[in-house]
């Protein structure tokens, strides 16, 4: 299962509007997409789930996807997060 390991740089963390856009993009893909912070994991297609994680600035997150379009889902989510995150470790789907 490909994943992305990222550090959240945005001073507001992953809050309302960016979380809503994240959910919207994740929902465009058939793959199961999850976001993990520490030992807590949420379905990335659930706004309530994402906000429940309370992703703060400097949090290390892992976005994982499983399914036929998993790598495309991760690429789209990484593009959406843009400068709000930076890679902490290269996962299988991390672009060079």
Compute the residue count for the chain: 96
Question: Where in the chain are the domains?
Answer: 3-89
Distance CA 1, CA 20 (A): 24
Query: Domain 3-89, CATH 3.40.50.700 — does that match?
Result: no
- Report, as an integer, the average pLDDT of 71-78: 96
Whether residue 15 lies in the annotated active site: yes
- Report the chain's mean pLDDT, rounded to a whole number: 90
Average pLDDT estimate for 27-53: 96
Set 2, 5, 10, 15: catalytic member: 15
> pLDDT > 90: what percent of the chain?
75
d(CA 17, CA 19): 5
Q: What pLDDT shows up at residue 4?
A: 92
Please say if the pLDDT value at position 12 is more than 60.
yes
């Amino acid at each position: 299962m490909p994943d992305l390991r990222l550090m959240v740089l945005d001073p507001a963390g992953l809050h309302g509007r960016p979380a809503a856009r994240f959910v919207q993009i994740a929902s465009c893909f058939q793959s199961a997409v999850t976001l993990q912070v520490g030992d807590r994991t949420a379905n990335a297609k659930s706004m309530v789930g994402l906000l429940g994680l309370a992703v703060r600035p400097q949090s290390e997150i892992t976005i994982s996807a499983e399914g036929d379009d998993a790598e495309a889902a991760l690429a789209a989510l990484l593009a959406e997060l843009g400068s709000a995150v930076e890679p902490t470790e290269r996962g299988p789907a991390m672009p060079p």
